[in-house]
Chains A and B, each alone.
Chain A
Amino acid sequence: GENVEQHPSTLSVQEGDSAVIKCTYSDSASNYFPWYKQELGKGPQLIIDIRSNVGEKKDQRIAVTLNKTAKHFSLHITETQPEDSAVYFCAALLSGSARQLTFGSGTQLTVLP
């Protein structure tokens, strides 16, 4: 099955700096890669996603890049703010199952004021 590795597990940045979280996946046929943000006491919420026919996608301060050849994708957050502090999960859609996402282990991002 699919395997998704996520790094780093914790990340601290100063407010206003950029943050980058990286994920690698094992199944070259995976074609959908969402990122979820989980705030304390809440369930994860989708913040951005990318499909395999696109190399980059941006939404205001967040962006995701995908390198299909290397089988990795990254989340970039620019001009970080305290409200960006949360746990972030990457995921990949398992080939052969149209519904089953495989999640990474999560990154605890802390934005220091």
Chain B
Amino acid sequence: DVKVTQSSRYLVKRTGEKVFLECVQDMDHENMFWYRQDPGLGLRLIYFSYDVKMKEKGDIPEGYSVSREKKERFSLILESASTNQTSMYLCASSPGTPNEQFFGPGTRLTVL
């Protein structure tokens, strides 16, 4: 079974802190994605990566950056966390496109 793991299920940070969210997939997938999920807004794409060191902006990249140094790992970075970044963050991977995206369990981030 494809497995996508995220480093934390719950995270509480202070305004202005630098936050790292880590995602690892074990199926050698090319593509990896970071979404945020908010009630009534569905899943919104923050960034995605189709290869090591490659990244593309999604619909809401402001305030975020990403890093993909190894194929299996995709990190989301909040350079200076703000309260409006309190949300559920979901990581996903896929073997190509158009193909099924496999999601991790999510990280619920609270910024105080």
Q: Mark B15-39, 1 if CB is under 8 A from A, else 0.
A: 0000000000000000101010000
Min CB–CB distance B29 → chain A (angstroms): 11
B50, A42: Cβ atoms closer than 8 Å: no
B97, A99: Cβ atoms closer than 8 Å: yes
A100, B45: Cβ atoms closer than 8 Å: yes
How many residues in A have their beta carbons less than 8 Å from beta carbons of B? Answer: 28
How distant is the Cα of A35 from the Cα of B25 in the complex, in angstroms? 22
B42, A41: Cβ atoms closer than 8 Å: no
Interface presence of A101 (CB below 8 A): yes
Chain A, 94-113, CB within 8 A of any chain B CB: 97-106
Closest to A31 in B: B98
**Majority DSSP secondary structure for residues of B touching A:** strand
Residues of chain B within 8 A of A32, CB atoms compared: 98
Please classify how large the interface on chain B is, using the bins under 10, 10 to 19, 20 to 34, 35 or more: 20 to 34
A44, B90: Cβ atoms closer than 8 Å: yes
Chain B, 23-77, CB within 8 A of any chain A CB: 31, 33, 35, 40-45, 48, 50, 56, 58-59
Residues of chain B within 8 A of A1, CB atoms compared: 59
Interface presence of A9 (CB below 8 A): yes
Other than the given A31-B98, A43-B103, A97-B56, 14 more pairs (CB < 8 A) read A32-B98, A36-B103, A43-B90, A43-B92, A43-B104, A44-B90, A46-B100, A46-B101, A51-B98, A89-B42, A99-B56, A100-B48, A103-B42, A103-B43
Chain B residues in the interface with A (C-beta under 8 A): 4, 31, 33, 35, 40-45, 48, 50, 56, 58-59, 90, 92, 94, 97-98, 100-101, 103-106
Chain A residues in the interface with B (C-beta under 8 A): 1, 4, 6, 9, 31-32, 34, 36, 41-46, 49, 51, 89, 93, 97-106
